[in-house]
A = this chain, B = another copy of it.
Amino acid sequence: MPERSTIYEVARRSGVSTATVSRVMREGVGFSPETRDRVLAAARELRWVPSGPARGLAVRRAGIVGLLFPDLDQTGEAENESPLFVDQVIRGAERAATAVGDAVLIAATRNAPGHDLALSVAGKVDGLVVMARSLSDRDLARIARSVPVVVLAAGSAPRRLDFVGADNRGGSRQVTAHLIEQHGYRDIAFIGGPAQSPDSIERFSGFGEALSAAGLSTPDVPDAEGGFTEAGGERAMRAVLAARKRPRAVVLGNDEMAIGALAALRSMRLRVPADIALTGFDDIASARHVRPPLTTVRQPMRDLGEQAVRVLLDRLADPGAPRRSVVFPTELVIRRSCGCAGRVTGKPMESSS
């Protein structure tokens, strides 16, 4: 059982003051070598690890940035669903944070009023990257008032907060345009995620842009709502088939729903893409493995996470700097579900033979 030792013990054992120990540990130069060595030796022998809280209190900086996922519980709830986004964002964030000696804290807002939890976390971090997917602007503002925040989300940047995101609208416009221009489809349906979801809204909006750019009529709302889940996508697909003339193609708000739609169509003996073409969004792992492989849009998730904490760190360094907003382009990944021959334009597998 490790018994935590303090800087005082290290100081005593090496016969110097705590100030010297502190300096030796983080400056390393400007000391007689023997002093330095004695301190280092003592620290090692005592297995001294400087107390984060004590240091944080002294320097007024915890050295921790938080990642707030409002819906951590919901996503990936199906036992082994692939909750890609969260995961990749974490990796990127971790990299950017450790690059400057910081660490990252993960937090979720539990049930509705549990925003207090967000605040219990707020005290432990220097700033927060918040995944705004299921958070209202009001909640965001509330959080942002007690701790520096950068918003990580779909393409819509909130009024006065730093923002990092991927160009969801552009990506959606791009797939849709592909369907229209490359394949000549004109009757295209859209299945969205949760109605209030900014991601879903952005994607639907990009869809509309592509239609109107092609001179097609643009719907006001998605043809159906699939909640971003596989099962929801399956239901939604059936719903649109029941509700209207069969569309020639349907663009789905994400890959999970597209996979669900695939299942629905298969069970109805409709062929993809021959009878109906399909596209997804996100390029999750399964998109490649499903039959036919899914044409989709990839976001640079890891980069998003990395950039978000960079922006946050900049903000902490200079609270007065002008608001920033960085949006990453997305990448169209063409596979077969759109009707293309099977030529893959996306990044190839690590090694395919």
Which residues of A pack against B, CB within 8 Å? 1-2, 47, 49-57, 62-64, 66, 72-73, 76, 78-84, 86-88, 90-91, 94-95, 98, 101, 103-108, 110, 117, 119-125, 144-148, 229-231, 234-235, 238, 259, 263-264, 267, 282-291, 298, 300-302, 319-320, 347, 349-353
Q: A230-B350, A285-B285, A350-B229 are in contact. Are A2 and B63 (CB under 8 A)?
A: no
Q: A103 and B101 in contact (CB under 8 A), knowing A52-B124, A87-B76?
A: no
List 18 A–B pairs whose Cβ atoms lie within 8 Å, in order of A's numbering: A1-B148, A2-B146, A49-B123, A49-B147, A51-B57, A53-B62, A79-B302, A80-B88, A80-B282, A80-B287, A82-B285, A86-B87, A94-B108, A103-B106, A104-B105, A106-B106, A231-B350, A264-B353
Alpha-carbon distance between A320 and B1 when the two chains are bound, in angstroms:
8
Q: How far is the CA of A295 from the CA of B52 in the complex (A)?
A: 46
Q: How far is the CA of A74 from the CA of B27 in the complex (A)?
A: 32
CB distance B148 to A120 under 8 Å? Answer: no
Q: Looking at the complex, which one of B49, B64, B90, B231 makes contact with A352 (CB distance below 8 Å)?
A: B231
A5 → chain B, closest Cβ, in Å? 9
A82 neighbours in B (Cβ, 8 Å): 82, 84, 284-286
Q: Which B residues are CB-close (under 8 A) to A51?
A: 57, 123
Q: How distant is the Cα of A255 from the Cα of B231 in the complex, in angstroms?
A: 23
Q: Are B122 and A95 in contact (CB under 8 A)?
A: no
* A64: chain B residues within 8 A (beta carbon): 105, 124
The residue on B at minimum CB distance from A80 is B283
Q: A114 to nearest B CB, angstroms?
A: 9
Top 3 A-B pairs, shortest CB-CB distance = A53-B56, A52-B124, A82-B285
Enumerate chain B residues within 8 angstroms of A57, measured Cβ to Cβ: 51, 53-54, 57
